[in-house]
Structure 1
Amino acid sequence: MDYSGVGIAITGCGSAAPETAIDNDRLSEIMDTSDEWIASRTGIRQRRLSDASGSLVQLATEAARGAIEMAGIEPIDLDLILLATSTPDDMFGSACQVQAALGASQAVAFDLTAACSGFVFGLVTAAQYIRTGTYRNVLLIGADVLSRWVDWSDRRTCVLFGDGAGAVVMQANTVDRLLGFELRSDGSQHHCLNLAYSGEPKALLNDCEITQGQFRSLTMNGQEVYRFAVKRVPEVIEKALFRANITVDAIDWLLLHQANQRILDAVAHRLGIPSEKVISNLAKYGNTSAASIPLALDEAVRGGAVKLGETIAVSGFGAGLTWGAAVFQWGR
């Protein structure tokens, strides 16, 4: 069967964040830090933190409902749900719980893990299902609750992260709005940013020893990640633009993973993109990992900044190390 005429449109978006907002001054009550120290180095002023009763599934479901409503479809219309997350409520995955919460009984659902690149990797993955004609309506969610996994005594890392979720609906379309993409990975740099398992040997039988343990807190070499991002992200965006057969000047908006304002500024500068074209909500939410791009997109769309038909270049980067970019036009 020939599916060459199947295009992709991103027709709806939604987002969710916990109610609890902790600003930088509040963090100074539990560690040696200050608003000036955090904001001057990162651009972050506050972050949202999930409370003890909160869950990733709740956040993901709320964001998903907003995207589904905007797209003008019903949950029963969904063929596929992709949940990009590194912090599921269940180690076996949380996408199926989201499917059940939505009542999307016809949808296949599974998790995808690519850390802060998860949304972009999920976007490209979903696109392949649509372009082959396998599915027509796909819900892509990026959601993370990293407050569970940071060391709250380490001011170098814990001040960076927040919790949240964002979602988009992708649909088969007569005009292809996904113009180009590029994905990359480099496992040799895994040590720069990870959340590793730590186990202790346990003798199960005389000739069989296993390990039992838990995951450590998130660890990061901030300087190395910064150098990686400001070099590799402009390169991968340029590759995506080349595949889209457009130039930087054709971009209406640059939307990067919301990791650090210095990274956002440096990447935009290297690409020659003025600051007024850069979408940033980092100051309010911090780094929400796979949620950061769709959360910022939803705010920009609902706030009236992003208009139908405008061209957006997005790029995610993070643990793995992984990085990628995609260029698309908003709406049908």
Structure 2
Amino acid sequence: MGLSTLHNVRFAGMASCVPKRTLSNLEDCPPKLRSERERLVRNIGIHNRRICPEWQCFSDLAFDATEKLLEELQWQRDEIDALIVITQSPDYPIPATAIILQDRLKLSHATIAFDVNLGCSAYPFGIHLLGSMIAAGTIKKGLLLVGDKSASTNDPLFSDAGTATALEFDPQAAPIYFDLNSDGSGYKAIIKPVGGHREPYAFHHGFPVRDAHGDLHWPDGLILDGPAVLSFSTQRVPPAVTRTLEYAGIDKEAVDHFVFHQANRMINETIRKKLGLPVEKVPSTLQDFGNTSGASLPVTMTVRLNESLSTGRHKLLLSGFGIGLSWGVCILDIENAKFPALLES
């Protein structure tokens, strides 16, 4: 795909929802790990995270966010032509979570509903996917639901969240610019290797094993190659941002806010400094919400920018990057959109 432009697509609104339960990376860790965890928190910048109870799914958070957004927009259910869900945390392996939510949200049977499996880079890819359907003139209004249930009590990085974004056809809307990229040669950098058809779940995967450092881990858990992700993120994202700005003919000084995937403080600060961006233009939610996977862009926009984005016109550059490996940049104008305050469920 690379560089592309969409016309006639308006960003109508957004809502984000997180679980009520907060975990502290310092207070809620075992005492013997406290000094090690303090050093880690200084590096990754994540103090608190949100985690779902066992019964709660990503789709529950996304449902609540969607209900609130539809209330704010005053959209009728039968007006919604498409429902796209981007998650790595589906309710079931099959059927698609989007189909379940179509019924749960009481949308029309004529609603196009399907899932996409993508994580950290999900938001710009999702805006392009839904926006392309609208720009083509096939649909007038659509919903994009993005998020994951990826938090655990032991891992200090990830948080749970669900978000909903509304796009609609508008011939007066400003163009939206994109740079979307994929590099599957690095797929092992962030991977959950067990549970698919390549390596089906077996009895022995239910027992922890010790790694080379003597630490216990679960064979069916997430494997994250930190150095590889750091190198990928800091090498790929800054050039993509610069390339998209040049393609759009926009000076970076004309952008009101640069919103990046909330990976960790080291990665995000390196990207910000490479691009020479002022701190006040780069909002962060890492300290309070951690890495919320594909939901990190909308969560950050909701928590840090919702009041300003609800009035007037603002130019934003959004960038998601990570699992795949994949990375995307999106430049769009948001004018008088609906941005309800962060929901807790």
Residues 238, 274 of structure 2: 8 Å contact kept: yes
TM-score for the superposition, normalised by structure 2: 0.84
1:166 touches 1:292 (CA, 8 Å); kept in 2? no
One of 293, 299, 323 as aligned partner of 1:289: 293
CA change 1:38–1:315 in 2 (3 A) is: same
Question: Could you tell me which amino acid in structure 2 is paired with residue 251 of structure 1?
Answer: V
Q: 1:95 aligns with which of 83, 98, 107?
A: 98
Q: Give the TM-score taking structure 1 as reference length.
A: 0.87
Aligned to 2:176: 179
Deviation for aligned residue 1:162: 0.7
Q: Show the counterpart of 1:189.
A: 186
Give the corresponding residue for 2:262.
258
Task: Note the alpha carbon deviations across 1:30-76, whole angstroms, 9 max, x for none.
Answer: 87245632321111110000001211211111112233233331332
Query: Is 1:15 matched up with 2:21?
Result: no
Q: How far apart are 1:137 and its partner, in Å?
A: 0.6
> Which segment is superposed worse, 249-258 or 72-81?
72-81
Residue in 2 aligned with 1:45? Answer: 47
Say whether the 8 Å CA contact 1:38–1:45 is kept in structure 2.
no
Equivalent residue in structure 1 for 2:238, among 234, 239, 243: 234
In 2, Cα distance between equivalents of 1:230 and 1:6: 30
Provide the C-alpha distance between the structure 2 equivalents of 1:81 and 1:54, rounded to a whole number of angstroms.
21
SS for the counterpart of 2:83 is: strand
- Are residues 211 and 218 of structure 1, via their aligned partners in 2, closer, same or farther at CA, if it must alter by over 3 Å? closer
Matches within 5 A, 1:1-332: 7-29=8-30, 32-34=33-35, 36-92=38-94, 93-105=96-108, 106-147=110-151, 158-197=155-194, 213=202, 216-304=220-308, 307-331=311-335
Task: For residue 241 of structure 1, report the CA deviation from its aligned partner.
Answer: 1.6
For structure 2, the residue ranges without an aligned partner over 5 or more in a row are 206-218, 337-345
Distance 1:89 1:252, change over 3 A: same
CA drift at 1:84:
0.9
Q: What percentage of residue pairs aligned between the two structures are identical?
A: 27
Q: How far apart, in 1, do the equivalents of 2:126 and 2:334 lie?
A: 17
Offset, 1:22 = 0.4
How well do the aligned residues superpose, as a CA RMSD in angstroms? 2.4
Shift of 1:179: 2.7
8 Å contact 2:26–2:38 — kept in the other structure? Answer: no
1:200–1:163 Cα change, 3 Å: closer
Q: How far apart in 1 are the matches of 2:26 and 2:99? A: 38
Paired residues of 2:6 and 2:131 also in contact (CA < 8 A): no
Distance across 2 between alignment mates of 1:5 and 1:277: 25
Q: 1:200 to 1:59 in 2, by over 3 A?
A: closer
Q: Deviations over 1:186-228 (max 9, x none)?
A: 1111111111235799xxxxxxxx9554782111111110111
Does the 8 A contact of 2:176 with 2:332 survive in 1? yes
Counterpart contact for 2:69–2:164, Cα < 8 Å:
yes
Deviates more, 1:105-114 or 1:80-89: 105-114
- State the shift of 1:245 in Å: 1.8
Secondary structure of 1:25's counterpart equals coil
Paired position in structure 1 for 2:212: none
Q: Confirm or deny: 8 A CA contact 2:265 2:286 kept in the other structure.
A: yes
Unaligned stretches of 5+ residues in structure 1: 202-209
Q: How many residues align?
A: 314
